Amino acid sequence: MFKYVTWGLSVLVTLIMLKGGYGKLSGNPAMLGAFPMMGLPSWFGYFIGACELAGAIGIWLPRLQALAALGIAIIMAGAVYFHVAFTPLQGGIPALLVLLSCVFIFTQRKNQAFWA
């Protein structure tokens, strides 16, 4: 059963990361506006967008799936921090759900990773 849950969560995380990564790399001001608010340089938004796209791809490569899920979880931890610090708290719920999904994917796939 966990195999199907992991697969379903991987699909959802991929779609979310593709949308977010594309939005940042295309220069969408709504997607990039958070970075200066946190005191980060504007290029960092593009870097995060590239990482999101890389994670969306890596989550489908069996030997990289756990690493990709871990990387996305780290990005989502930053997103949760942003929402807690700068927006109404409920704005961070989607990022928290993606973070928890990635933690689940990581725990299910860590034994199949390249380091195992």
**Which domain does 16 fall in, by range?**
2-112
Give how many domains the chain has, as a whole number.
1
Residue 25: C-alpha distances to residues 41, 43, 94 (Å)? 15, 10, 20
Q: Tens digit of pLDDT for each residue in 60-81? A: 999 999 999 999 999 999 999 9
* Residue among 17, 114, 10 nearest 67 (CA): 114
The Cα–Cα gap between 67 and 17 comes to 15
| Distance, C-alpha 102 to centroid of its chain | 8
Do the beta carbons of residue 84 and residue 37 sit within 8 Å? no
Q: Tens digit of pLDDT for each residue in 4-62? A: 999 999 999 999 999 999 999 999 999 999 999 999 999 999 999 999 999 999 999 99
Res. 116: pLDDT tops 90: no
Does this model's pTM top 0.85? My answer is yes
